[in-house]
Amino acid sequence: MFCEHPDRFFPYTYVQMTSFPQGSVENPSVSEDFPNITGSVPQMIQATMERFRNLFIREKVIKVPNQMEALRIKNYPYQAIEEAVVNAFYHRDYMSCEPVTIEIEPDCINIMNFPGIDRSISEKTIVEGKRFVSRYYRNRRLGEFLKELDLSEGHSSGIPTIQEELEKNGSPRAEFFTDEDRRAMRIRIPIHPAFLEENEIENENLLQNETSFETSLKQVLKLKDFEKLVDVIRELEIKKEITVQEVMKITQKSRTTAWRYMKTLIELGVVEMKGNTNNMTYRIR
């Protein structure tokens, strides 16, 4: 599970991620399939969380009257998502021909692994969604490795951590679903209510082809290029122009790599550059 290609030994060891911008029930024909995430178990967890951070997790700052500090909330708290993703890898059956499956809905994130929770945990406990204390750990040795990598704490602390992080963010509690035969486990993490109205407006705009700069570039850039440039694109959308030094700071890359990233946007015709080599600025055309 810690080699470059564990799928050679355990079939379907990858992450399958799909986005349903208008809902999988309301309009399932509108969807976006992302490239499968492969590699060792720690690499898949890291790559999955990077995709969440770059493409889906957003922050909103709300000014509170009669209070100096502004309120910062996220549509999905990073730590809650990470715990759910780690749990999916920890508790899946690696002899099962089913990948870890993630579906992004307008109002929630669903993370599924196969099979479901051990029968020693009652349906009542699952519905309450507090703490699942199992008499049987499916992958105890894997859990020990994940703990050494600071990806898991053990002691059945994953579910309480998810609920605690959601509560601190002001989000509704996560929900847990399985069937009578315990064939699958689904964690539903709801979006913060403050982002629901915003999503509805975005969906209406998409239907009317009124897309933002970021949305437009997402449609024309390759996914790997968009993930590299997403923070730069968001900064450009706000400030309308950006220096090469700012690109280096945002991406944590060298000047040469920053130039190469911006060259991609220039070739698309959406950004133009001005200034000399040592003081280059890029602006939206």
Query: CATH 3.30.565.60 residue ranges in the chain?
Result: 6-195
Q: What is the pLDDT of residue 200?
A: 59
Percent of the chain whose predicted confidence (pLDDT) is above 90: 29
User: CA–CA separation, 211 vs 105, rounded Å?
Assistant: 19
Structure-model confidence comparison of residues 25 and 156, the more confident one: 25
- On the question of pLDDT at 104 being above 50, the answer is yes
CA distance 233 to 241: 10
- What's the mean pLDDT in 84-106? 92
Q: Which band of pLDDT confidence, cut at 50, 70 and 90, is reported for residue 88?
A: very high
Could you give the residue range(s) of every CATH 1.10.10.10 domain in the chain?
A: 212-284
Q: What is the pLDDT of residue 80?
A: 94
State how beta strands 271-274 and 100-104 pair.
Answer: unpaired
pLDDT tens track for 140-158: 888 889 888 888 776 667 7
Sign for the CA dihedral angle at 240, 244, 246, 250 comes to positive
Is pLDDT at 15 greater than 90 in this prediction? yes
> What pLDDT is stored for residue 91 in this prediction?
86
Can you give the pLDDT at residue 207? 46
Average predicted confidence (pLDDT) for the chain: 83
Where does the pLDDT of residue 241 fall: very low under 50, low under 70, confident under 90, or very high at 90 and above? confident
CATH number, span 212-284: 1.10.10.10
| Overall average pLDDT of the 251-262 stretch | 85
The full length of the chain comes to 285
Regarding the domain delimited by 6-195, which CATH topology (the fold level of the hierarchy) does it fall under?
A: Heat Shock Protein 90 (3.30.565)
Q: Are 132 and 117 in contact (CB under 8 A)?
A: yes
Compute the distance between CA of residue 52 and CA of residue 88 in angstroms, rounded to an integer.
Answer: 15
pLDDT score at 237:
80
Structure tokens at 146: 């994940």
Phi, psi of 89 (to 5 degrees): -75, -35
Please give the structure tokens belonging to residue 204.
Answer: 């209406």
Predicted local distance difference test score (pLDDT) of residue 184: 87
Per-residue confidence (pLDDT) for residue 48, from 0 to 100: 94
The pLDDT confidence band at residue 139, using thresholds 50, 70 and 90, is: confident
User: What are the Cα distances from residue 177, in Å, to 80, 85, 101, 122, 126?
Assistant: 17, 15, 14, 12, 7
- Residue range 71-87: average pLDDT? 92
